[in-house]
Amino acid sequence: MANEIKFFLDGQEVEAQPGETILEVARRHGKRIPTLCHDPRLEPFTSCFVCLVEQEGRPGFVPSCGTKVAPGLKIQTDTPAVREARRMALELLMSAHAGDCVAPCRLQCPDNIDIQTYIAAIAAGEFGEALQVIKRTNPFPSVCGRVCPHTCELQCRRNRVDEPVAINPLKRFVADLDRESKAPYRPPVAPDTGFKVAVIGGGPAGLTAAYYLRQKGHAVVVFEMNEKAGGMLRYGIPRYRLPHDVLDAEIAHITDLGVELRCGQKLGRDFTLKSLREQGFGAVFLAVGAWVSQKMDVPGEDLAGVFPGIGYLFESAHGRKPKIGKQVIVVGGGNTAIDAARTARRMGAEVTLLYRRTRKEMPAETFEVEEAEREGVKMHFLAAPVEVLGKSGKVSGIRSIRMELGEPDASGRRRPVPVPGSEFDIPASAVIAAIGQKPDLTAWGEPGGPAATKWATVKADEKTYQSEVEWIFTAGDCLTGAATAIEAIAGGRKAAISIDRFLRGLRPLPIGKPFSDSIGRLEDVPEDIFQGVEKQARAKGREMPVERRLKSFKEVELGISAAQALAESARCLECGCTAVDTCQFRNLCEEYEARPDRFKSDHTFLPVLEDHPFIRYDPNKCIMCGRCVRICLEQQGTGALGFVRRGFETQIQPTLGQPLLSTDCDACGQCLGTCPTGALEVKPVLPKPGPFQPTCHEVACGFCGVACRLKIESVRGHYLRALSQPGIGHNRGNLCVDGSFGHRFLETLPRLKEPRVRSAGKAARADWERALSAAADGLKKRVGRGVAVLSSGPLTNECAFLLQRLAREGLKTPHLGILDGPDEPRRMREALGPATLSFAEIGRADAMWVVGRDPFEHAPVAGIEIRRAALGGVPLWVLSSAATRLDELSARTCRVPASLLGGVVEALARADGGLSQLVAQAGVKEAHLVEVMEALRSAKRPVIIASDDLPATALAALGEIAHKTCGRERILLLRRGGNAVGREELGLMPGDGIGPNNLDMSGIRQALRRGELGALLLVNTDPLGGALAPKDVHRDVFVVAFDVVAGPWARRADVALPATALVEESGSLFSVVGTAVETTAAFAPAGGKALLDALDELSAQFSGLVRLGSAESVWREALSRRPELEKLRPRPAEARESGHACG
């Protein structure tokens, strides 16, 4: 084309249209330029400077979203300098952002388990979902629910209010439920990749790596030197803490995925690293554990009766009873020492524990120390052994020296220093030394194997877990030294990620904590954050009484109940952002490695606004991109949000500091859809907001005739929220209050979930077969008296066809009607045709006339497009009975009383003297109306937009006006009813030539009221009330009602059948913009049967009708009768993907 502009983009010559921006052209050519303040529905704002690019010959950078293309420009979109500039822009934005991306408990957890999400799932009663969330990162939730030190609770912010949330007991609760169920959760396994991985060591690290590698499709063999797998979990933790049946069950969950377990196989004895490589293993994972106990290095340590801590526990785990006698000294202060002490108590010994520091410095878990004391273990602090005493080659006691604390050592704890001359003796029959463990260097010390560190661990990259031998990876104790089970599990999972990348030919990448901004550590969080948080007691689990514990090795801690779990989950303060996975700002910060604290300054925390029923606004997370303010003002025309103050004190707040509900906010939700952070969020329908990892379905909205495209997020069949897709679909991502929040009824209204059949005046539950049979029998008996078939709401095209087929061919009735449409739809259709017009045509118009109700009330998304066209310069005239949001943009607004509006339109069509009389009554000038007619006649591309609640005579008159001015194809009739056009096209209208007594809607209502019709088949009603109420139907009329809610009609009906909400049905709709739209079922039908199937089965009980069986068969049948209906089917390219992960 002659007016095309050519310029260079990353060295390639490209073409653009005048007025296009660099960003628009770059994205069209597949270039990824990040943005935060950009929304395709708004003019460029250039406030974030994240979209910077380099322009040759110009110093610095230019914002691509606001820079128009020009001939010869040379633009670079991804150079090191550009990336650094974008990173700085992000860091500057972070200086004003104050919020926790990730909850502090999750950041504290070595495995970064998504604690906030699984607690939210528990609060919703979705225990299975909670378990799946945990198992994304931890295959041992039952184990860890018993033995994890739960350091996560140290950073739980409830510590500042009362006590931390019982995170670990909650994990154990859902894990035990799953483990004890008949069908425990089993994750999907990818198709086999052909790669083999050898895992050496069947402990927590090795088994975890095997679990996640198998899910990736790799063949995994675990080599374990002992007779059973489990490693330290089996042989280092006593059964009273971790019963073996619990461990065995969770190991079975791993092997059930196809992981091969070879026990009794020891590295160096039964195989070598080299031999594994020769057997075709593409990678080897070393996870051999720390089985070598550290010595005390004191005289007498070799006497009989001195036991290494882990050796003593190993023997006990096998059921053997080492000869320890009645007086046992345990040396050490870690978990192994405490476990050994409590085990010795169960073997009948008196136990004293020696520790060279104070109680405060003990590395053992505080709870375990307290339990040991409750069980009778004596603690002797600030004491260290100097000699093991003996008689006849056996232990007789231990000599210790008192210690005092000096300067801190490398661990940060104060170094214990001996007190000269303070030695003392304690008699003992056995000494258990539990002062530390380390891996066995000889396990992997073969030629060609990985090197070792001075701490006897494998030398490897602690971020990628790859050793100096590229195909050997490691984690767990042999990388970190002796550590906790959860640390080993975390290492095993992360190593599996690196191994998978290595096998696929990719470079292993460093794996750290999730990227997160933070308002501070627990001690630094401002006190204001906790205002209004009520104190609530923490759940206390059941436990075995102390007096019974020492008689066996039965489990001591018995967990919490379901009621406790639900109550405890409610204590969570939801510190992390629910937008953590979808926040554009966080994703870019992570991608560009922005440093949260580079420009951080003191932040004054502002109150979170919770007054709106659907919207939560946290101004602390706002980055001032302005998108919410601009979409509210420029597109919606309401201006409910605005910038206040200046400079560094600038905020976005509701207008005039009012509550959002007190502004002109119409709850359209557009601010939510455009916000690139978590500052504006949907208030949850579930007890907690998540953040969940939901399933997304692309659906069509059925609350009016526009049929907007949107996404529905769900988790485990629960509705979470509706999402717009800025710039996508005929609605360009725009939604109204119904599209944004209307689907909440799925969780809030009482659904009709099972059929009911009335007999002898009483309704009783029935199965579908009986209920459909009762419906068919009752309708057949009354065919002779006449049957009305009425529908409301968004039936799919497929269901509409089945319903009219049943009505006309099965029930032989002409009495069809639409409750949420015009009273005389056939007359309207004859006058106007389908009256559909694309939004693109509105944008190209050169004159617009809006007649009737405010489009922002009748079909708000259409109102947005009309307003957009008017702002773009298209002349607009408005004829209405009340103020509209378009009035301020109108060249002329004529306000006519509602009682006269239809008459004025009719008079304009007749162009006779009646107009003068009417306008005099209405108080408007006739010249103003004539001006509109002239404008329509003289325009080249005029459009008329009307609401379908105008009287039938007025709608017919509009058809006449269009015929004289712009043509009927230039009329857009805005419909109240979902898929109104599709339902009409498919025949859900009165008449059509069957029978002599065709009734319009008013006639049908009158006949039902008088009992002149024998039956009513009703499909869908408005749960908030509608055009027909049960009281409007005579008591003798037999009623079959398909309804979504258990409301008045379900109570009145002789047969009540559950109908599906549109988001529970797959099919197609036809929008008022002339576009066929496909929708997919986001949820299973609440009543157990899709409406399509129910109508199909009901129809099959009438002579001459057979089951069609599927939506595709319905279309074949429909097209065989009326080929012109092809326009109602979405094109294949417009089919929506169903049930995918959101992202």
pLDDT tier at 409, thresholds 50, 70, 90? confident
Alpha helices (H) along 654-761: 670-674, 737-741, 745-748
Q: Which of 637, 522, 1074 is nearest to 834 (CA)?
A: 1074
Which one, of 79, 92, 96, lies nearest residue 48 by Cα? 92
| Helix (H) / strand (E) containing 653 | strand 651-654
Please give the DSSP secondary-structure letter assigned to residue 861: H
Q: How confident is the model at residue 1141 (pLDDT cuts 50, 70, 90)?
A: low
Q: Which residue do the tokens 């006593």 mark?
A: 238
CB contact at 8 A, 739 and 699: no
Q: What is the mean pLDDT of residues 783-810?
A: 93
What's the CATH fold of domain 193-291+439-504?
FAD/NAD(P)-binding domain (3.50.50)
Report d(CA 615, CA 667) in Å as an integer.
8
Do residues 750 and 743 make contact, with C-beta atoms less than 8 angstroms apart? Answer: no
Whole-angstrom distance, CA of residue 745 vs CA of residue 1086: 12
Strands (E), 4-158: 5-9, 12-16, 52-55, 62-63, 74-76
* Helical (H) or strand (E) element with 1111: helix 1111-1121
pLDDT value at residue 230: 96
995 pLDDT band, cuts 50/70/90, is: very low
> For 493-506, how does the pLDDT look when each residue is reduced to its tens digit (9 = 90+)?
999 999 999 999 99
**Dmax (CA) of the chain:** 131
Tell me if the domain spanning 829-974 has CATH number 3.40.228.10.
yes
The pLDDT value given to residue 1126: 86
Asked if residue 1133 has pLDDT above 80, the reply is no
Q: What is the pLDDT of residue 825?
A: 80
Q: How far is CA 1108 from CA 979, 1099, 1115, 1128, in A?
A: 22, 10, 9, 19
| Length of the chain as a residue count | 1143
> Which percentage of the chain shows pLDDT scores above 90?
81
Average pLDDT over residues 979-993: 81
Confidence label for 2 from pLDDT (cuts 50, 70 and 90): low
Distance between CA atoms of 145 and 2, rounded to whole angstroms?
A: 71
User: Is there a contact between 576 and 103 (Cβ–Cβ < 8 Å)?
Assistant: yes
- Is the pLDDT at 1044 greater than 60? The verdict is yes
Q: Give the model's pLDDT for residue 1101.
A: 96
Q: Specify the pairing of strand 350-355 against strand 378-381.
A: parallel
The answer to whether residue 674 scores a pLDDT higher than 90 is: yes
What tokens does 528 get? 């204001």
147: nearest Cα among 45, 233, 219, 265: 233
Preceding peptide of 169 cis, ω within 30°: no
Q: Can you read off the two tokens belonging to residue 114?
A: 């998504």
In 3-state terms, what secondary structure has residue 422? coil
pLDDT of residue 223 exceeding 90: yes
Highest mean pLDDT among 345-349, 488-492, 1076-1080: 488-492
Q: What is the pLDDT of residue 1081?
A: 95
How far apart are the C-alpha atoms of 169 and 635, rounded to whole Å?
49
**From CA 138, how far away is CA 132, in angstroms rounded?**
10
Q: Give the per-residue pLDDT at 1137.
A: 47
Q: Do residues 234 and 311 lie in contact, with contact meaning Cβ atoms separated by under 8 Å?
A: no
pLDDT in tens, 819-866: 888 878 888 888 888 899 999 999 999 999 999 999 999 899 999 999
The string over 267-282, giving b where at least 16 C-beta atoms fall within 10 Å of a residue's C-beta and e elsewhere, is bbeebbbeebbeeebb
Tokens representing 333?
Answer: 């202060």
Structure tokens at 176: 């035990």
And the tokens for 985?
């096209």
User: Cβ–Cβ contacts within 10 Å for residue 191, how many?
Assistant: 7
Residue 708 Ramachandran class (φ > 0 left, ψ -120 to 50 alpha, else beta)? beta
The arithmetic mean of pLDDT across residues 645-650, rounded, is 85
Judged against a pLDDT cut of 80, whether residue 1025 lies above it is answered with no
pLDDT at 1140: 59
Contact 1064/1086 with Cβ under 8 angstroms? yes
Instruction: Tell me, rounded to whole angstroms, the distance of Cα 187 from its chain centroid.
Output: 19
Q: What is residue 992's predicted lDDT score, i.e. its pLDDT?
A: 54
869 has a pLDDT exceeding 70:
yes
pLDDT of residue 1139: 61
**Rounded to whole angstroms, how far apart are CA atoms 841 and 943?**
8
For residue 602, the model assigns a pLDDT of: 80
Backbone angles phi, psi at 226, to 5 degrees: -85, 175
CA distance 293 to 201: 18
In the structure encoding, which two tokens stand for residue 1032, read together?
């409007």
Q: Helices in 154-203 by DSSP H: which ranges?
A: 167-179
What's the confidence (pLDDT) of residue 1007? 93
pLDDT at 1136 over 80: no
How many other C-beta atoms are found inside a 10 Å radius of the C-beta of residue 25?
Answer: 21
pLDDT at 1134: 44
Average pLDDT over residues 100-116: 97
Chain segment 539-557, per-residue pLDDT in tens: 999 999 998 999 889 999 9
Read off the pLDDT of each residue in 252-261 and give the average, rounded to a whole number: 98
Fold of the CATH domain 584-748: Alpha-Beta Plaits (3.30.70)
Tokens of 1086: 């609440």
596, amino acid identity = P
Question: How many percent of the chain have pLDDT more than 70?
Answer: 98
Q: Tokens at residue 298, please?
A: 């004191």
Question: Mean pLDDT over residues 160-179, rounded?
Answer: 97
Q: What is the mean pLDDT of the chain?
A: 92
User: Looking at the domain that runs over 756-822+982-1067+1088-1132, which CATH code has it been given?
Assistant: 3.40.50.740
Distance CA(876)–CA(932), nearest Å, equals: 9
Q: Residue range 1065-1081: average pLDDT?
A: 94
Domain limits, the chain: 5-78, 193-291+439-504, 292-437, 584-748, 756-822+982-1067+1088-1132, 829-974
Q: What architecture is domain 5-78? A: Roll (3.10)
**Is it the case that residue 1132 has pLDDT exceeding 80?**
no
Residue 994 pLDDT more than 70?
Answer: no
Check if the beta carbon of residue 495 is closer than 8 Å to that of residue 473.
yes
pLDDT at 380 over 50: yes
Min mean pLDDT across 360-369, 909-918, 1115-1124 is at 909-918
Q: Indicate if 584-748 has the same CATH topology as 5-78.
A: no
**Is the per-residue pLDDT at 396 higher than 50?**
yes
Q: How many whole angstroms separate alpha carbon 487 and alpha carbon 466?
A: 17
Name the pTM for this structure. 0.91
- pLDDT (average), residues 945-965: 91
Contacts of residue 116, Cβ cutoff 8 Å, sequence gap at least 6:
103, 105, 106, 572, 574, 575, 576, 690, 691
**CA nearest to 1033, candidates 1014, 1056, 1019:** 1014
Burial class for 960, CB neighbours closer than 10 Å (0-12, 13-18, 19+): middle
pLDDT winner (highest mean) among 92-96, 187-191, 995-999, 1135-1139? 187-191
Q: How far apart are CA 819 and CA 1025, in angstroms?
A: 11
Q: Rg of the Cα trace of the chain?
A: 37
Q: Which position has the higher pLDDT, 944 or 442?
A: 944
List of E strands, 687-760: 695-700, 709-715, 718-723, 756-759
Highest mean pLDDT, choosing among 546-550, 672-676, 791-795: 672-676
What fold, for 292-437?
FAD/NAD(P)-binding domain (3.50.50)
403 phi/psi in degrees, rounded to 5:
-120, 160
Q: What is the pLDDT of residue 290?
A: 92
- Kindly state the average pLDDT of the residues 1046-1070: 95
